Amino acid sequence: MVTQMIFDWAKQAPERTAVIYNGRRLSYRWFAQIIALARGYFARRDYVGSGYAVLAVRNLMNFWILSLALRSLGLTTVAVRSVAEVDQLGLPTLRCVITGSGETWTGLDGICAKLGVHLLSVPSLVGESPLALEVSEAATLFGDHVLQTSGTTGIRKLVLRTPAFDAAFVRDRVEAFGMSQDTVFSVFDFGAWTGPGYMIPLSAWTVGGAIAIEQGREFYRAFAVGISHAELTPEMLAAILAAPSDVFSRNDAIQLSVTGGAMTRSQVDQAKARITSRVFNLLASTEAGIIGFTLLETPEDHRWHRLLPSRQVEIVDESDRPVPAGEIGRLRISIAGRPTSYLNDDEGTRAFFRDGFFYPGDLAVIRPDGRMALHGRITDVINIQGQKISPAPIEARLCELFGVSGVCLFSAQNDSGDEEIHIVVETPTPIDSNRLSAALNQALRGSPGARIYYMAALPRNEMGKVLRQAIRAQALASQPPLAQTD
């Protein structure tokens, strides 16, 4: 129960930093006191017990204060990014929608009226009477939190995180990252609906460490506050690497972890040269947590993940039988002590959870030495002239050859009913035809020609993952393609 642990650290080390918000250091004493004030504010309005509280709060510092106060009173909290999401959640026993004073959410009052729930704008807590947190209360009453998946398939799913589930996820993260009281972990501006945005703060506060939030300003500013760890997406890393060379200093004490997608080799080299030599590839999901954590030292580390010894990861065939080492199959991850379903989604639960495992929908292979490589999603596999092709390795290779941050490969039927390869490259300018042909010959080897499209920026979600359905729709709508190879 993280709220109780924050209060405990406030007693043991009151002046230790708990949060650095846009450069401002906030102690555990202050953090516990402001949570106690929020507890008093909500308790006097009878927000105690079961039910859901939706938080329409953009300021991440305010979100954590209000969420931890509400959870300590027994409510289950949900973070949203838009007014439309409030209407789409479909939550039973929705008690209230909370927003922060000074934040504008156009149309939120109308949605709340439609749902028949109370909209509460929390003012400044100055002058409120605090409500202390009792140990017995924390052990029995602490509520849950709802995370949202990244929605790469076009549909976001809800994952309920109980305190017991949180404990398992925190254990993995603390162990993998080597977190301690000296940890200052940058969360940048990850929202609390995401795995990193939720798990990084919980893990840091559990061990008495601190988090650093950069919201509404340049990400590279995190390096000026003495962080020890950072987790970010390739897209966030690209923004940092685009900053002038003199705005931050290289620091090998920083442990930089990239999640949500693969970096290009160029990004890895630049990150090592400009930020830190300790660059890691983090493989995780909202549903199952961390399964791979790989220090990028050699070229093969870029693709072959080192799995956490504590996690049970298997590759199976279509009948769920484990396949031999070196054979491509479906990835599944043990969910012992973790969520076993999606919230209010029986169909999604049946598709992704069964027999004590989570099936993320990825194809993968594990070598005899235990290292694993992903081969794209099962639904992304394309069939060209009877040959089944997994796009992921080809996309990664083309990113390297073109020197770009994103490539999306898909197939579509032409007017004759034949499947054709379509390749969308993330670049504002077309690639030289000779270079294009040479790269495609290397990456596709023997496959028929491809239709090529260029986009200045591929559609992505907040985790930096490309949205394949949106890319496909945009590319096909722009027919004819900008280039075609034979």
pLDDT in tens, 84-114: 999 888 888 899 999 998 899 999 999 999 9
Residues 353 and 403 in one domain: no
- Between CA 396 and CA 470 the distance in angstroms is 19
Residues 217 and 303 in one domain: yes
- Between CA 89 and CA 160 the distance in angstroms is 13
- Between CA 51 and CA 92 the distance in angstroms is 8
Helix (H) or strand (E) holding 207: none
Residue of 257 and 152 predicted with greater confidence: 257
- Between CA 485 and CA 475 the distance in angstroms is 16
Q: What mean pLDDT do residues 319-346 have? A: 94
What pLDDT band is residue 383 in, cutting at 50, 70 and 90? low
CB atoms within 10 A of CB 316: 15
Contact 401, 439 (CB under 8 A): yes
- Between CA 229 and CA 272 the distance in angstroms is 14
Residue 371 pLDDT: 97
372 is in which domain, residue-wise?
205-377
Residues 366 and 402 in one domain: no
Q: pTM for this structure?
A: 0.83
**Angle CA 387–380–321, to nearest 5:** 80
Residues 359 and 214 in one domain: yes
The residue type at 401: L
Residue 355 pLDDT: 94
- Between CA 311 and CA 314 the distance in angstroms is 10
Please report whether residue 115 resides in a domain: no
Contact 376, 388 (CB under 8 A): no
Q: What mean pLDDT do residues 198-209 have? A: 97
Contact 212, 184 (CB under 8 A): yes
Residues 211 and 358 in one domain: yes
Residues 300 and 400 in one domain: no
Residues 449 and 388 in one domain: yes
Identify the domain boundary among 377, 411, 426.
377
Helix (H) or strand (E) holding 196: helix 195-206
β-strands 17-21, 329-334 pairing: unpaired
Contact 363, 378 (CB under 8 A): yes
- Between CA 197 and CA 231 the distance in angstroms is 10
